[in-house]
Every structure is written in structure tokens, then in C-alpha cells.
Amino acid sequence: MKIGIVGLGLMGGSMAMALKHLSFVSSVVGSDHNSEHQRIALQRGLVERFVSFEELKRSCDVIFLAVPVDGVIALLQESTELEGTDKTLIDLGSTKALIVEAVPPSIRRNFVAAHPMTGTEHFGPAAALEGLYSEKVVVLCDLEHSGDTQRDTALRIFRAIGMQVHTMGAAQHDRHAAFISHMPHVISYALANTVLAQEEKENILALAAGGFRSMSRLAKSSPVMWEDIFRQNRGNVLEAVELFEAELKTLKEALKNEDYAALRREMAGANKLYEIFS
């Protein structure tokens, strides 16, 4: 199986690392307009070489689209010549509904909408990690509209790199992702900006320990990438943020009114989250 990857950042580069260990993958090549990304990816041995997207479509059996959502949509629009072939296009975008809606009908069977629920706050090919996908969840959306060959190919690859496969509708995915991925980024950016706005921010940050570092870590994420995600999933992110604001207001009112019993009840309720995880 010959595989091409468009976009050799964190997700694409880490996917290249994972694929190279699979016995049924004969080659992994890349396509990336960023010359610095190409240099680093080749230096790290992430792919064998770089070619154009046109060449990927001609020579590869499977193409991963590991670029921002707007880029995924543009590339899908350029792929209509794959109609009638067994070739598989798999995107790794963080939002799904707009991508699924934008797939040209003639190649809908060639396409698999995927979101690996993994990542770090770092980006670019230098951030690519061995094992990033292992034992993580991947969500495949609207899989019933993909062709049998494409569905089986995607399942084979994701399971072979150690991922746990979940399926759901694209709209359902985007609402869920707003709560467990997108809203936490909003909060992290806001937390970082709140501290940075203080006159003695250096002194405050000198005291930063595990709690602050854990909550602010996501604020290092790419603003360019996350602007796209927030725009694409705006309605769901706004709903999640507004519900979070309501919970924050409850805690604020308990503190304001010195109602520590109510504050303790709210915190005890939050502890139940980890009963689900355990």
C-alpha cells in the first residue's frame, strides 16, 4: 500500500512515523508547500520524499489530508478525478460537519472523515511524535457514506497503528468536540491572557506550579489553526462556553456570598467526573 500525506505538521508527521512500522505499507511520501517543513521532515526521515498533490493522487492508494479544515475542503474540491477508483482520502480535521458537507458527491465514496482524539500544544514537523496515535481514540464520521473498500482501508490502518475506533455522525462529533477539546482551548487562552494582563505578571508566573501549567498548556497551541477550528465550529463552541460561564457563575456566587457549603457541593459534584474515567 502506497500512502501520501498532505501536511507534515504534528498530526501528519506523527502519522508518517506510525505508518512506517506497518508491514502492509510499502512507501510514505509527503506534500507540503512549506519549504522549511519539507526540510525538517526529510531531515527527520518522516517521509521518503516530497511530491505535488497531483502526483500523490496519481501514485498513492491512500492520501491523508493533515491540514487545517479550510485546506481539507479545498483539496477535496481538487480531487474529483478520483471518481470511480478505489483510492482512499482520509482527513484528520478537528471539525467534521463542514468537511463532510463540502465533499464533491462524485467522490463521496472515496472519502473517510476521521478525527484522531490526540495531539499536543506543539506544531510543525519538529513536533511529530512516535506513538502519538497509539491507544488513542479515533472518531470516524458518517461512515455509511464511504465505500466498502475505503471504510475497510481506514479501519485497517487506524487499528494497525493502535487506535480505538468510534463512529458517529459529523454533527454529533462537532458538538461533543466543542466540550472536550475546543472549549478547553478557549479557557486556556483566556487564563493566559488574564495573567498576562496583570502588572506583576512576572512575579505571578514565578509562582506557577503544576495546576497553572496544566491549565495554561493549551495556550501554546497555534492561533492560526485554532482560529479555523473556532470559526468552523462556532455555534457549538459558543454553546459550550456559555454553559461553562453558567457553571463559573455558580461558583463565583457561592464565593461572593461566603456560602462555602454550596461551594463544597459544587466541587464534590465535579469530583464525579473521574468516576466515569476510572
* Domain residue ranges in the chain: 2-168, 173-277
Q: CB within 8 A of 187, min separation 6: which ones?
A: 215, 244
CA terminus-to-terminus distance, the chain:
38
Residue 137's DSSP bridge partners are 164
* pLDDT band for position 119 (cuts 50, 70, 90): confident
CB 158 within 8 A of CB 114: yes
DSSP 120: -
Mean pLDDT of 169-194: 93
Nearest-angstrom CA–CA distance, 30 and 2:
11
Tens of pLDDT, residues 195-254: 888 878 777 777 776 778 888 888 888 888 889 889 999 999 999 999 999 999 999 999
Q: What is the CA radius of gyration of the chain?
A: 21
Q: What is the pLDDT of residue 50?
A: 95
Q: What are the DSSP calls for 61-83, one per residue?
A: SEEEE-S-HHHHHHHHHT-GGGT
- Determine the pLDDT at residue 246: 96
Task: Classify burial at 192, counting beta carbons within 10 Å of its beta carbon; exposed 0-12, middle 13-18, buried 19 or more.
Answer: middle
CB distance 15 to 5 below 8 Å: yes
CB 68 within 8 A of CB 228: yes
What are the DSSP calls for 139-159, one per residue? EEESGGGS-HHHHHHHHHHHH
Strand runs (DSSP E) across the chain, as ranges?
2-6, 27-31, 62-65, 88-91, 111-116, 137-141, 164-168
Residue 166 is predicted with a pLDDT of 96
Q: What's the predicted TM-score (pTM) here? A: 0.85
Q: What is the pLDDT of residues 8-30, one digit of tens each?
A: 999 999 999 999 999 999 999 99
CB 40 within 8 A of CB 12: no
Would you say residue 112 has pLDDT above 70?
yes
Strand pairing partners for 2? 27
- Which letter does DSSP use for residue 163 in this model? P
**Amino acid, res. 67:** V
**Amino acid of residue 65:** L
Kindly report the CATH number that applies to the domain delimited by 2-168.
3.40.50.720
95 pLDDT higher than 70:
yes
pLDDT above 90 for 120: no
Question: Check: CATH 1.20.1250.20 for 173-277?
Answer: no
Q: How far apart are CA 16 and CA 92, in angstroms?
A: 13
Q: Return d(Cα 64, Cα 1) in angstroms, integer.
A: 13
**Section 95-105 average pLDDT:** 94
Q: Which residues contact 245 (CB under 8 A, 6 or more apart)?
A: none
Per-residue pLDDT band at 278 (split at 50, 70, 90): low
C-alpha cell at 243: 454553559
